[in-house]
Amino acid sequence: MPASIISAAALPEKTPTRSIILLAVAGFASQAQVRVMDSLLPQIAADLHTTVGDAAMVVTAYAVTHGSIQLVIGPVGDRFGKYRTVALMCAIGAILVAVCGMVSTLPQLALARLATGAAGGWIIPISMAYVGDVTPRDRLQPILARYLTGQILGQLFGQAAGGVLGNYLGWRNVFFVLAGMFAIASIGLVIELAVNPVTRKTTGRGTGARGFVGEYAAVLSNPFARIVLIASFFEFALMWGAFAYIGAYLHLRFGLNFALVGVAVGCFGIGGLFYAGLVKVLVGGLGQIGVAITGAFVLALAYVGLAVTPAWWLAPMATTAIGLGFYMLHNTLQTTATLMTPEARGTAVALFSSALYLGQTAGVTAGAPVVDRFGAAPLFLTAAAALPILAIWFGGKLKRNRRVEGPAGNLR
C-alpha cells in the first residue's frame, strides 16, 4: 500500500487532536465571516443608500458560490489532500475577505462576496471529511462535536462583531479583522502540514478507482443520502431565510443601534454552545431522532416569540433558543451526512454542504421581497410552521434507515 494512502487499518491509535484544533480555528474564521452579515446587513444598506432587501444580494452572492463550489471540492480534496486544500483556501480567503472591506459600491461588494464564497466553501466540509478519515468510527461523534465548537464560536463572534465592532469601527474594518483571522489560521495550518505527516496524506478512497463522476454516483445512488440532502436544503432555506433578517427586524422595529443588534443576534452562538455542552445528555435522554424533533419545536416557539415580542430585550432570549434548537436539529443531519457514504466521504460531505448553502440562497432570496413589503415577521412564522414538519418527516426516514447506527447515536 502506498505511503500516501490512509486505510481503515492505518488510522492512528490516537486522534491527531492538534491538527483538528487548527481546522476548528479555520472553521471559526470561516463561520465568523459568513454570519457577520446577519448584523452588518442594515449597516451596509444605510451606508450604501439602499434597502435591506436589496443589500441582501451580498448574502445571496456568497451563498451561491459557497454552495455551488461544493460540487467539485470533494474529489479534489481527496485527490490532493484535505489538509493541504484547507490551508490553501484559508490563505486565499484572507485576501478576499480583505477585499470586501475595500469596495465602494453594492455591486462591488456582491462580487467580492461571490469570490469569497468560492474560497470559503472548501473549509468546513473538507475539514469534516478529514476528521472522519483520521478518527475511528466509535469516537467520531464526540470528536465532531468538539470540532463543531469552533464553528459555533465563530458564529457567535461574527454575529456579535458585526454589530459591536461595526458600530464603533465601521463595517469595512470588520472585514479587515476577519481577514486577519484567516491569515492566522492559514499560518497555523501550514506549520502543521510541515510537522505532521498525517496531514499530508490522502485517503485514496474511491477517487482513483471511480473517478470524479463515480464519486458522485456513489453518493447519489444511495436513496437515504438523497433524503439527507433534500432535508438539509429545506432546513437551511427555512432557518436562514428567516434568520438573515433578524438584525434588520430589530433595528427597524425597535430602533436598536447596531451594537445592540449584534449582541442580540450573537446570542444564537450561545444557544449553540449550550447544545455542544449538553449533547451527550440530550442524545442519551431523547435519542437522536427525539433531539432533532424537539429542536425543531424549540425553533418554532422561538421564531413565534420573536415575531410577536413586545420588547427588544426579549429578542436575545429568542435568538439563544434559536441557536439551541437549530443545533439540536442540524447536528443530527450533520452526523448522518458524515456517515451516509463512508466510501466517498469527502464527496458526501461536500454535497451536504452544497445543499445547505443552496438552501440558504433560496431562502434569503425568497425572503427579500417579503421583508421589503411586509417585514420579517411573516418569514419567522413560516419557519415556525414548517421546521417541525420537516423534522418529523426526516425523523421517520432516519428511523427506517438501517445504515445509520453506531456513532449516529440512539435512534429512538
- Find which of 141-155, 260-274, 392-406 is predicted with most confidence, using mean pLDDT: 260-274
* pLDDT for the residue 302: 96
Q: How far apart are CA 314 and CA 302, in angstroms?
A: 10
pLDDT band at 108 (very low <50, low <70, confident <90, very high): very high
* pLDDT for the residue 409: 44
* pLDDT for the residue 3: 35
pLDDT band at 206 (very low <50, low <70, confident <90, very high): very low
Residue 299 has pLDDT above 90, yes or no: yes
Of 223, 189, 221, the closest CA to residue 83 belongs to 189
Mean pLDDT of 371-382: 90
Strand partners, 223: none
Residue 412 has pLDDT above 80, yes or no: no
Quote the cell numbers at residue 403.
445504515
**Burial of 221 per CB tally in 10 Å (0-12, 13-18, 19+):** exposed
Q: Which of 42-51, 209-218, 263-272, 385-394 has the lowest mean pLDDT?
A: 209-218
* pLDDT for the residue 329: 93
pTM of structure = 0.74
* pLDDT for the residue 260: 81
Chain CA centroid to CA 103, Å: 25
Q: Which residues of 102-133 are buried (b: 16+ CB within 10 A; e: fewer)?
A: ebeebeebbbbbbbbbbbbbbbbbbbbbbbbb
Q: How far apart are CA 360 and CA 254, in angstroms?
A: 26
Beta-carbon contacts of 308 under 8 Å, excluding residues fewer than 6 positions away, are 377
User: Do 203 and 323 meet the contact criterion of CB atoms below 8 Å apart?
Assistant: no
Percent of the chain with pLDDT over 70: 90
> Who has greater pLDDT, 42 or 236?
236
Quote the cell numbers at residue 86.
484547507
> Who has greater pLDDT, 342 or 351?
351
Mean pLDDT of 354-374: 86
User: Do 95 and 179 meet the contact criterion of CB atoms below 8 Å apart?
Assistant: yes
- Summarised one tens digit per residue, pLDDT across range 218-234 is 788 888 889 999 999 99
Q: How far apart are CA 243 and CA 35, in angstroms?
A: 10
User: Do 199 and 83 meet the contact criterion of CB atoms below 8 Å apart?
Assistant: yes
pLDDT band at 210 (very low <50, low <70, confident <90, very high): low
* pLDDT for the residue 264: 86
> Who has greater pLDDT, 345 or 238?
238
| Secondary structure class of 341 (helix, strand, coil) | coil
* Torsion over CA: 329, 331, 336, 341 (sign): positive
Quote the cell numbers at residue 396.
421517520
Q: How far apart are CA 174 and CA 166, in angstroms?
A: 6
> Who has greater pLDDT, 289 or 1?
289
Residue with the three cell numbers 437515504? 224
* pLDDT for the residue 233: 94
Of 158, 140, 79, the closest CA to residue 334 belongs to 140
- Summarised one tens digit per residue, pLDDT across range 115-146 is 999 898 889 888 888 887 787 766 666 677 77
User: Do 371 and 251 meet the contact criterion of CB atoms below 8 Å apart?
Assistant: no
User: Do 71 and 350 meet the contact criterion of CB atoms below 8 Å apart?
Assistant: yes
- Summarised one tens digit per residue, pLDDT across range 55-99 is 888 888 887 888 778 777 877 777 778 889 999 999 999 999 999
Residue 272 has pLDDT above 90, yes or no: no
User: Do 384 and 304 meet the contact criterion of CB atoms below 8 Å apart?
Assistant: yes
* pLDDT for the residue 214: 73
Interaxial angle between packed helices 171-195 and 17-47, expressed in degrees from 0 to 180 and rounded to the nearest 10: 160
- Summarised one tens digit per residue, pLDDT across range 5-50 is 344 444 445 567 888 899 999 999 998 988 788 778 888 888 888 8
Q: In whole numbers, what is the pLDDT of the chain averaged over residues?
A: 82
* pLDDT for the residue 211: 63
